[in-house]
Amino acid sequence: SSAAYWDISGLKPISTGQGEKQPTTPPRIRDRELTRIIVTPSGRRLSTSRTILEFVEGIRDAIMAHQRLFVERKVLHGDISDGNIILASVGGRLQGLLIDFDHAVKVKDTSDEHENLYLTGTLKFMALERLQYAAACGKSISRTYFHDLESFFYVFLSGCIQYERDDKSKEVLYLQRWCKEDIDENFKGKHHDMDNFESDIVSRFSTNFDCLKELARQLRKILFGNDQSIFATPDEYEPVYRDMIRAFDEVIAQIRGGIIVNKNLL
């Protein structure tokens, strides 16, 4: 993941100090242990999707995994990005898997006193409410399930625009506005794109992803309704998960049924 801590507290809790450094305690020998974790199955990045179906199912599966983690384990991932969704063969079927839980938190866990001092995650896919609050208040708002679901939406949109294109293409470069380290500019750029969705985002879809434009419109409506100035977290999480997964399922059924052509991707 390309996630990083963004210290917006203005504090420097660790001083670099001045003068020659001296040991504060006598040196001693310590036993150290190296731990390696090997997980299976191995997979490949979402960006390597070979067909439209792989791309759509990969994101759908990751959302379903997120739902189970949130509902059954009370865990929020906290860094949904295209690098944290992989495609792997599980039980003979290619599935989307959610990985990298470095920034995961338990719901309503306030044990981390630094939680509201740092804006963690990947800026490109960060939810509008998180960006707006950080820009206005200088600290991070508590993370919610909705923030992660909104990040899935931006992963989907980014893929539809970027995949199959050169990194220097004007369409790909346009999304750099979502990566700005100036939080206020980042928020304003992404908010403008959601307000002007057809001209700023949908019109930039790659040719082979044109068949997913209606899905993009549905997901935007599920998340933001008809008023893009309101993007707070709904109290009821079931309808949001249900509607997003259903929207993906309908497109998957259309692809499998031949209504939408399952185009090969470059």
Give the residue carrying structure tokens 């001209």: 199
Task: Give the whole-angstrom CA distance, residue 197 versus residue 161.
Answer: 13
Amino acid at 25: T
Residues paired with 98 in a beta bridge: 85
In this prediction, residue 3 carries a pLDDT of 47
Count Cβ neighbours within 10 Å for each residue of 77-112 and write b for 16 or more, e otherwise.
bbbbbbbbbbbbeeeeebbbbbbbeebebeeeeeee
- Residue ranges of the chain with pLDDT lower than 50? 1-25, 110-111
CB-CB contact of 149 with 155 (8 Å): no
In this prediction, residue 28 carries a pLDDT of 53
Tokens of 30: 């310590």
Tokens of 199: 């001209």
In this prediction, residue 38 carries a pLDDT of 66
CATH class given for the domain over 39-256: mainly alpha
Task: Give the whole-angstrom CA distance, residue 36 versus residue 67.
Answer: 28
Task: Give the whole-angstrom CA distance, residue 125 versus residue 23.
Answer: 43
Q: What is the pTM of this model?
A: 0.84
Provide φ and ψ at 91, rounded to 5°: 60, 35
Kindly state the helix (H) or strand (E) to which residue 56 belongs, with its residue range. helix 52-73
CB neighbour list of residue 181: distance below 8 Å, 6 or more residues apart: 6, 123
Nearest in space to 9 (alpha carbons), one of 154, 186, 134, 144 = 134
CB-CB contact of 205 with 160 (8 Å): yes
What is the maximum span of the chain, computed from C-alpha positions, in angstroms? 73
In this structure, what DSSP letter does residue 140 have? P
CB neighbour list of residue 155: distance below 8 Å, 6 or more residues apart: 46, 59, 80, 81, 82, 85, 125
182: alpha, beta or left, given left = phi > 0 and alpha = psi -120 to 50? Answer: beta
